[in-house]
Structure 1
Amino acid sequence: MPFKGLTWDHPRGFTALDRAGRQSGLIAWDRQPLEGFESAPIADLCAAYDLVVLDHPHLGEALAQDCLCPLDEVFDPVALKRFAADSIGPSFRSYEMAGRAWALPLDAASQVMALRPEIADAPLATWAEVSDFARHEGGLALSLAGPHAALSLMSIAASLDDGLDLADGGWLGAALCVEAYEILSDLNAHANPDFGQANPIGLLEAMSSGTGIRICPLVYGYVPYAARPAPRTVLFRNAPRSRIGGRHGSILGGTGIGISRRCTPSDALRDHLAWLMSPGVQTGFIPENDGQPSNRAAWADPDVNAPVRGFYSATAATLEAAALRPRHDGYIAFQTAASAFLREALRTGLPPAAVAGRLADMFAASLPANRRV
């Protein structure tokens, strides 16, 4: 009987895994909607599946529930070091916690800039340039639905602070949060409000369909949209900076494959997972089957880039510089609540200092009791 796996319902998350699982006869993959992937309790998923595709902010919750198997119980140290060295940016590190690795970073992504081909030559490298374009040319959309309002705020903050990394449970300082929110609020003032409830896939579908959206400065990159034929192509570029030469502001996304505690991994399963992470598969099978590889060499490979109009090479610098989110048990609920609060704050014009103060209080309340000050 094959192992049971759960991934998310988009070709990028499903096609390659499903095809590989069927060919090997090892894994039967189910899928859940993107919203479930972003917010479903990880313990419930691990109770029902042997393999679970997850995002790194779920780690604290998973460790608190003891529902994932550490990778060092499945792979030898040499293999783990190889996976880490091959992965772009902080992809592998995002799944390390409490001194151990808990998922294989099969898929790499971060918030990047999406734009229509007709404005590819517009000066859009900084937030000031994006704001100026939106003010005079229109066609701006923001990714604010679901958890993405908070993620957009954090990405802007990362462009303002070259050293920002929230993986160990910190939050934005008051001055940094105010400055990031002021940029987000300025952009929101010029954004098309009709797409405020659209998730990243919905936004990219709208851009691809010629709805008038010409630029989304922060949206998680999905390579299939770059592969679509004209006029449905969406181009992707590095996320904006706060200043020329500064950091591309982005929060790491992507997905990893975790092994649940209910699973008893076989040698065949271990070899299959290692095969999925191998350079040849990451530069061949994965992108050929709608996937978005995590292997750094794949992102630089001309043959991988050619069919997708340079999607990987045009955004790799953003991946390399991407910041990690907090990962404590309680963060996912904070991310949801903070995004809802930010949408309301943008709608009502709440002062930036009040926004920063409220977010700091919400974050502090989300921490486990033994970590609250």
Structure 2
Amino acid sequence: MTRPAYRGLTWDHPRGYRALEAAAQAIAPDHGLSITWDRHPLEGFESHPIADLAARYDLIVLDHPHVGEAVAHDCLTPIDEVMDAGELAALDKSAIGPSLASYRYAGRHWALPLDAASQVMAYAPGRVETPPATWEEVVELASRAPVALSLAGPHAALTFQSVMASFTGGARPQDSFADPAAAREAYALMAALTGEATRARIDQNPIALLEAIAGGEDLAMVPLVYGYVNYARHGRVAFADAPRGAAGIGSILGGTGVAVSRRCAVTDELRAHLAWLMGADAQHRFIPAHEGQPALRSAWNDPAVDHAWGGFYSATRATLEAASLRPRHDGAIPFQTEASARLRAGLLNGELAAPVLADIEAAFTRHHAKGTET
């Protein structure tokens, strides 16, 4: 009997592919199917049109800002048609922070939370004895040590949103991008941190920034960068919760979900494999053992998992629990790209907040149909 065969796409980093590829070799045959995983670079993962990927792949690893675009193009099968309601209800309670909720849009779930991440603090253990807890302490540290913001690609907008969330608690206006007062405060803080260290690393994505710390380069800390457990195991990089503002921890959710395209023939074998990926055995053992970051709260709270990976999970899980969502409407990705470019230019050129923030709000209006879900 021929096994059902599927082709999937994930992102080209060990956290993104090792567990999936290992499961395809060691676990999928026991579930009666075969899966081949292709990879694309981080930049493609962040911005490639989802409809194009869904036309070519059965399974797609994606991030939650893509769901509005996917719904508009009707290119994914709702996960509530793949998994039963009881499984999703259980996962909603067990997933850390808003990991599952981030993929619920227009009344349906569109992906299973395979991997959990958020912007957290990363620092060089030999250069920072006690990580700063607040933004005021971050600014003080930057006066005597190289502290860089993560501003490359979409990350200028993501950093901006995380800083704003620390002042607002993550609440956003219904039909605009930002609370004006919080936006001004966040821009001022980011301007204060756009010094030599930030300018020297303006084109470095999160992986490059973490590599710089791990390699002993002249970088003491990045206050907001997507956490990668891979760098914590041998103590090359230390992690801590994101800095706190007046409303507490502010951070924007990352992580990934596995989605099923419309072209995919959903079989019981595929359902069994997806259920296994979301289960305790995979999330506590298989995924962490292959450099992945599990999405179940119980795995993040597991002392054995935490110890094996240098305390990464206990150091950052409060940030995951408090994380906020990005805009997810159709048009969120081009808006994120445009907003990041405008923020980056404004910060590097020393522009005042008003014109920069006005341009960002105008971009949001262009890329978001008024009254639609964000």
Shorter chain as denominator, the TM-score bin is over 0.9
Is 1:38 matched up with 2:14? no
State whether structure 2 residue 150 is matched by structure 1 residue 143. Answer: yes
The 1-side partners of 2:227 and 2:75 are apart by 29
Aligned to 2:159: 152
Consecutive unaligned residues in structure 2, runs of 5 or more:
none
TM (norm. structure 2) is 0.94
Aligned to 1:212: 218
Q: Does the 8 A contact of 1:115 with 1:236 survive in 2?
A: yes
Q: Aligned Cα RMSD in Å? A: 1.6
1:352 offset after TM fit, Å? 1.1
* SS of residue in 2 equivalent to 1:188: coil
Is the CA contact (8 Å cut-off) linking 2:128 and 2:220 kept in structure 1?
no
In 2, are the aligned partners of 1:169 and 1:328 still within 8 Å (CA)? no
Deviation at 1:190, TM superposition (A): 5.4
Question: For residues 130-161 of structure 1, what are the alpha-carbon distances to aligned partners after superposition, in whole Å with 9 as ceiling and x for unaligned?
Answer: 1101112x221211000000000000000001
Question: Contact 1:62/1:68 (CA < 8 Å) preserved in 2?
Answer: yes
Residues 260-279 of structure 1: pairs in structure 2 closer than 5 A: 260-279=261-280
User: What SS is found at the alignment partner of 1:124?
Assistant: coil
Residue 9 of structure 1 corresponds to which residue in structure 2?
Answer: 12
Counterpart of 1:95?
103
Deviation at 1:304, TM superposition (A): 0.3
Give SS of 1:236's match.
strand
Secondary structure at the aligned position of 1:118 is classed as coil
**CA pair 325-208 structure 1, distance change in 2 beyond 3 A:** same
User: Is 2:64 the partner of 1:52?
Assistant: no
Name the structure 2 match of 1:185. 191
Aligned-pair distance for 1:199? Answer: 0.5
Which position in structure 2 is the counterpart of 1:327?
Answer: 328
Please point out which of 63, 71, 80 is paired with 1:72.
80
Q: Which residue of 1 aligns with 2:142?
A: 134
Cα distance in structure 2, aligned partners of 1:83 and 1:110: 19
CA distance in 2, matches of 1:81, 1:12: 26
Q: Secondary structure at the match of 1:191?
A: helix
CA contact (8 A) 1:165 1:323 kept: no
Secondary structure of the residue aligned to 1:251 is coil
Letter in 2 for 1:164: A
Q: Which runs of 4+ in 1 moved over 3 A?
A: 369-372
The corresponding residue for 1:354 is 355
Q: What is the distance in 1 between the residues matched to 2:240 and 2:76?
A: 35
Structure 1 residue 122 displacement after superposition: 2.7
Distance 1:329 1:100 in 2: 15
* Structure 1, 349-358 or 13-22: larger mean CA deviation: 349-358
CA distance change for structure 1 residues 169 and 256 in 2, over 3 Å: closer, same or farther? farther
Instruction: Specify the code of the residue in structure 2 equivalent to 1:236.
Output: F
Task: Supply the distance in 2 between the matched residues of 1:103 and 1:247 (Cα, whole angstroms).
Answer: 29
Bigger Cα displacement from structure 2, 60-69 vs 360-369: 360-369
Report if the CA contact (8 A) 2:113-2:257 is conserved.
Answer: yes
The Cα offsets for residues 57-106 of structure 1, whole Å up to 9 and x where unpaired, read as 00010000000000111111111111111100000000001111110001
Provide TM-score, normalisation by structure 1.
0.95
- Residue 299 of structure 2 is matched in structure 1 by 298
Q: How far off is 1:120 after superposition?
A: 4.6
Q: 2:125 aligns with which of 105, 108, 117?
A: 117
Q: What is the one-letter code of the residue matched to 2:15? A: R
Deviation of residue 42 (structure 1)?
A: 0.2
Q: Which amino acid is 2:49 matched to? A: P
Following TM superposition, by how much is the alpha carbon of 1:162 offset from its aligned partner in structure 2, in angstroms?
1.4
- Aligned twin of 1:342: 343
Q: Which amino acid aligns with 2:125?
A: P
Q: Distance in 2 between matches of 1:174 and 1:366?
A: 19
Of residues 206, 217, 226 in structure 2, which corresponds to 1:200?
206
Paired residue total = 365
- Partners of 1:145 and 1:128 in 2: CA distance: 23
Cα offset for 1:165? 5.0
Give 2:168's aligned residue. Answer: 161
CA drift at 1:163: 4.3
Matched letter for residue 214 of structure 1: A
